[in-house]
Structure 1
Amino acid sequence: MSKKEAAFNELVRKVRKDLFGKGPERIKTYFVENIAITILQGNLTPTEKFIARSPEGKEMVHTARTRMIQEVYAQQVPDGMEELAGSKLVHLFSDIKIEEDIAVSVFLFEKKIED
């Protein structure tokens, strides 16, 4: 893992921890051209796991997680992220699979992310 990937992982982890009270247990980022693809495992809090035991609860946790992440990034890009990427963040796409406790975030930047 490059220093840039490790630093990007820490930025993403901090946002999740600050927002949900728990960061992912494992995180891996891949840079491809102007895209950062981040895979996060072990995201859910014990409370979210409890809520997600019913179909309605799964939907509620899924909706809360995906909307909150997208709203946070829409309001303000985390400090240092655009400097690290060397480009402006244009879009964030995010989803989580509750059953497997795995999430994916795709960050789309204006320009290619340099190593």
Structure 2
Amino acid sequence: MSESLQKLEQNFANLIRAYRKKQIGKGPEKIKVTFTRNWVVAHMSGCLSPVESFITRSEEGRNMILHARTHMIKELYSELTPTDMEQLVGAKFIKLITDVDLEKDEVVSIFVFEQPIDGTEDMFSI
């Protein structure tokens, strides 16, 4: 991996952390970002706040946090286009695909852009 791509991935991770901290109140403790074609795959851990962790002790609470951390976060990214991410990668943001494992406090998010951002010419669309 080139040093410039590695730096770009780290900068993208920093944007994710800042965006989530600003919009949700807490950013992830750890983020690993990988660019693949027109996707940015982000594996995050340490995402839940202490209050969210407490709420997940009940089934109703788990369902509420799962909804907030998947459906609501996707809505947030569609309403507030992450222009700073678009500027960083030089491509238009299309959508976010995300899932959370509440027991492990891990999130995997795929940021989909309109064109390849990893230097490849081919595009795998979804």
* TM-score with structure 2 setting the length: 0.85
> Per the alignment, in what secondary structure is the counterpart of residue 43 of structure 1?
coil
**Displacement after TM superposition at 1:78 (Å):** 2.0
Overall identity of the aligned pairs, in %: 43
1 CA distance for matches of 2:59 and 2:117? Answer: 39
Candidates 70, 77, 80, aligned match of 1:76: 80
Q: Count matched residues.
A: 115
Look up the match of 1:113.
117
Look up the match of 2:9.
5
Q: Which amino acid aligns with 1:86?
A: G
- The runs of at least 4 aligned residues of structure 1 exceeding 6 Å deviation read none
Q: Name stretches of at least 5 consecutive residues in structure 2 with no aligned partner.
A: 120-126
**Displacement after TM superposition at 1:19 (Å):** 2.0
Q: Which amino acid aligns with 2:23?
A: L
> Per the alignment, in what secondary structure is the counterpart of residue 80 of structure 1?
helix
Look up the match of 1:63.
67
**Displacement after TM superposition at 1:110 (Å):** 0.9
Q: Tell me, yes or no, if structure 1 residue 22 matches structure 2 residue 26.
A: yes
> Per the alignment, in what secondary structure is the counterpart of residue 113 of structure 1?
coil
Deviations 1:67-113 (A, max 9, x none): 22111110122231111111111121011111110001101111110
| Contact 1:70/1:93 (<8 A) preserved | yes
| Contact 1:11/1:78 (<8 A) preserved | no
2 CA distance for matches of 1:80 and 1:45? Answer: 25
Look up the match of 2:55.
51
Q: Which amino acid aligns with 1:76?
A: L
Look up the match of 1:40.
44
Larger Rg: 2
Q: Name stretches of at least 5 consecutive residues in structure 1 with no aligned partner.
A: none
* TM-score with structure 1 setting the length: 0.93
| Contact 2:92/2:113 (<8 A) preserved | yes
Please provide the CA RMSD for this pair.
1.3
Listed as ranges, the matches of 1:72-111 within 5 Å are 72-111=76-115
